Amino acid sequence: MIDQNIKIAVDAIVFGYEKGTLYVLAVQQRFGKLADRWVLPGGFILNDEPLLMAVERELKEEAGITVNYLEQLGTFGDDINRDERFRVISVAYFALVNPKNFVLKADTDAKDAKWFPITEIPQLGYDHNAMVNLAHQRLKSKLTYQPIGFDLLDQEFLFSDLENLYCSILERDIDRRNFRKKILSFGIVIETDKVVKMGASGRPGKLFTFDKTKYNQLLKGNFQFDISFA
Amino acid sequence: MIDQNIKIAVDAIVFGYEKGTLYVLAVQQRFGKLADRWVLPGGFILNDEPLLMAVERELKEEAGITVNYLEQLGTFGDDINRDERFRVISVAYFALVNPKNFVLKADTDAKDAKWFPITEIPQLGYDHNAMVNLAHQRLKSKLTYQPIGFDLLDQEFLFSDLENLYCSILERDIDRRNFRKKILSFGIVIETDKVVKMGASGRPGKLFTFDKTKYNQLLKGNFQFDISFA
DNA sequence: TTAACTTTGTGTTGTTTTAACACAAATTAA
DNA sequence: TTAATTTGTGTTAAAACAACACAAAGTTAA
């Protein structure tokens, strides 16, 4: 018989984006050794619960949100003294959400839930800062070869929103004309006939949407989404 | 208290390459419900053992090999009825080795250890076929953006070996001249002054080596290894 | 009401990269 | 010595990329 004394948890790195700033969701622990400490949302999985479902449940429970995109990031198991009672191995998930769609709502386990700008993440409990760093890298690289930026935006967005998202997350300037040309050349972003007046001054712009169906069709061929600029 | 009844295992998908064929390592189970069944090498981790170390230990124990390249692939936890005594969650690792460097040696837990051509993998126990498929995809894509092919070859190799490796793993033709030009342009593959006579007929070729130090240097700049052909 | 400001929208051109392509040189086998 | 096999090498047309500026539509302030 195997005498493992190890428990399995899931944790999520949830990214949100708003007005040029990238945020990560953290929750404040209510109980335990690390009470009051900020950590990533997550928790132990149930015996008969698939991993993905566990993440979704925890996100609902601890922050009241449902994400747009969720994928496994990696498993962190070498922080052996995370908990004194037993070793904890945590499967980390990478998630994207549009913060406008939800009001954060801390629930039973969490005392509070809050968006931290990626540049101002406090010291988190466990090895959660390492997870955030890895997820941040993943976000940056994935943005260039998969159309996941749309999961951070409203369903209808201005072209400048998309452009600013890329600029701020990749931390570099992008030529507006080349960017627009390239994105439109894929045929997966379509122009609606809605025109929106900016709150501020400036010429009104058209709203665009991401055509996911079209994207999935293209994937069956050998289309490769790719945004990379000097 | 948490009443999880889950155990954690690691499994490895070890790729080997020889003469145009890609192989995956499997072992035949000696004990348990699936005795005689072929499975991926792996096993339960020890309480205080880091995950990577567990994989290395299992590979040593079950097949007598040490790999050239090892990275986490993903965690598979939804095969809930894998074991009747408890749920097993397995962290899968992706590994590369040059088969010539080792003689497979099944040990205590394994009855036998064997290389299967990727095209002739039998039905494996648990969800191991799914792991192999994911690893295979990872190998293919990684080959194009990271110089991992060298971990499957001898330290000194003919240019045609490298070329054939790419052709056979990516399953497509590659223009010899363009391929050579591109690889050499990176400056991470260097020509030795050794000339080798083929066993068969043909003009003798020079041996080449991969300059890992140079590659690591380049990585500090913004060099990007990239092999992609039509 | 006019001028200044802000944001959207659009084309061209030179440079670089990629894809397509063929033949000579060195060796072995017949 | 001829045929077969494998290594080694350059050019060119086409495509992709990078760099660049100005007019149009609206708002704000004078």
pLDDT, tens digit (0-9, with 9 covering 90-100), for B110-136 = 889 999 999 999 999 999 999 999 999
Tens of pLDDT, residues B51-75? 999 999 999 999 999 999 999 999 9
The whole-number pLDDT of residue B181 equals 97
The answer, yes or no, to whether residue B33 has pLDDT greater than 90, is no
Q: What is the DSSP letter of B14?
A: E
Min Cα–Cα distance to chain B from A7, Å: 7
Nearest to A4 among B44, B50, B51 (CB): B44
Residues of chain B with CATH 1.10.10.10: 153-220
The whole-number pLDDT of residue B80 equals: 67
Mean pLDDT throughout B77-87?
A: 77
- Measured CA to CA, the distance from residue B190 to residue B208 in angstroms comes to 5
- CA-to-CA distance for A14 and A96, rounded, in angstroms? 6
Measured between beta carbons, the chain B residues lying within 8 angstroms of A2 are: 7, 44
pLDDT at A2 over 90: no
pLDDT at A108: 73
Confidence of residue A27 (pLDDT cuts 50, 70, 90): very high
Q: pLDDT at position B217, please?
A: 95
Fold of A7-144: Nucleoside Triphosphate Pyrophosphohydrolase (3.90.79)
Q: Residue B103 has what pLDDT? A: 87
Per-residue pLDDT tens over the stretch A122-172: 999 999 999 999 999 999 999 999 999 999 999 999 999 999 999 999 999
The helix, strand and coil proportions of chain A, stated in percent and rounded to the nearest 5, come to 30, 30, 40
**Is the CB of residue A193 less than 8 Å away from at least one CB of chain B?**
no
Range(s) within chain B of domains with CATH label 3.90.79.10: 6-144
Torsion, Cα A16 A19 A20 A25, to 10 degrees, reads -20
Q: Do A44 and B4 touch (CB under 8 A)?
A: yes
CATH class of this structure's domain B6-144: alpha beta
B80 touches chain A (CB under 8 A): yes
User: Which among B7, B99, B110 is positioned nearest to B58, based on CA atoms?
Assistant: B110
pLDDT confidence of residue B199: 67
How confident is the model at residue A201, as a pLDDT?
83
d(CA B89, CA B80): 8
Burial status of residue B156 (CB atoms within 10 A of its CB: 0-12, 13-18, 19 or more): middle
The per-type count for chain A, helices as H runs and strands as E runs, is 5, 10
pLDDT digits (tens, 9 = 90+) for B2-18: 889 999 999 999 999 99
Retrieve residue A112's tokens: 């509070």
- A91: confidence class by pLDDT, cuts 50, 70, 90: very high
Does residue A230 register a pLDDT over 70? no
Q: How far is A195 from chain B (nearest CA, A)?
A: 40
Do A51 and B75 lie within an 8 Å CB cutoff? yes
Which residues in chain A have Cβ-Cβ distances shorter than 8 Å to B51?
A: 75, 77-78, 89
> Which amino acid residue lies closest to nucleotide C19, measuring CA to C1'?
B230
HEC letters along A7-18: EEEEEEEEEEEE
CB B62 within 8 A of CB B41: yes
**Token pair 């509070």 is at which residue?**
A112
Question: Is pLDDT larger for residue A31 or for residue B172?
Answer: B172
Amino acid at A135: A
**Higher confidence at residue A33 or residue B189?**
B189
Record: fold of B153-220: Arc Repressor Mutant, subunit A (1.10.10)
Q: Kindly state the average pLDDT of the residues A51-77.
A: 96
Give the residue among B28, B25, B23, B41 at the shortest CA–CA distance from B119: B23
Could you count the other beta carbons within 10 Å of the beta carbon of residue B190?
Answer: 11
Q: Tell me the pLDDT band of B230, cut-offs 50, 70 and 90.
A: low
Question: Which of B157, B148, B13 lies closest to B73, judged by CA?
Answer: B13
Tokens of B35: 């005795």
Distance between the alpha carbon (CA) of B176 and the C1' atom of C30, Å: 29
Tell me if A33 sits within 8 A of A114, measured CB to CB. Answer: no
CATH 3.90.79.10 residue ranges for chain A: 7-144
CA B129 vs CA A165, B24, B39, B76: distances in Å: 39, 11, 9, 12
Please tell me the predicted confidence (pLDDT) of residue A80: 67
C-alpha B74/C-alpha B93 separation (Å) is 7
Whole-number percent of chain A with pLDDT over 70: 97
Instruction: Give the one of A7, A72, A91 whose C-beta lies nearest to B4's C-beta.
Output: A7
Of residues A132 and B105, more confidently modeled: A132
Q: Beta B6-18 vs B87-96: how paired, if at all?
A: parallel
pLDDT tens track for A184-212: 999 999 999 989 876 678 899 999 999 99
Q: How confident is the model at residue B188 (pLDDT cuts 50, 70, 90)?
A: very high
Q: What is the pLDDT of residue B35?
A: 80
CA dihedral B76→B6→A41→A100, nearest 10 degrees, is: 50
pLDDT at B1 over 70: no
Radius of gyration of chain A from its Cα atoms, rounded to whole angstroms: 20
Task: List, for residues B143-160, the tens digit of each pLDDT value.
Answer: 999 999 999 999 999 999
- Looking at residue A126, its amino acid is Y
Mean pLDDT, rounded, of chain B: 93
How many Cβ atoms from other residues are within 10 Å of residue A29's Cβ? 19
Average predicted confidence (pLDDT) for chain A: 93
- For residue B201, the SS3 value is coil
Q: Is the dihedral of CA B171, B176, B179, B180 positive or negative?
A: positive
Flag if A50 and B89 touch (Cβ within 8 Å): no
Close Cβ partners of A171 (under 8 Å, ≥ 6 residues apart): none
Whole-number pLDDT of residue A194: 87
Tokens representing B102? 């080792």
Are A102 and A59 in contact, with CB atoms under 8 Å apart?
no
Q: In the structure, how far is the CA atom of residue A198 from the C1' atom of nucleotide D30, in angstroms?
A: 23
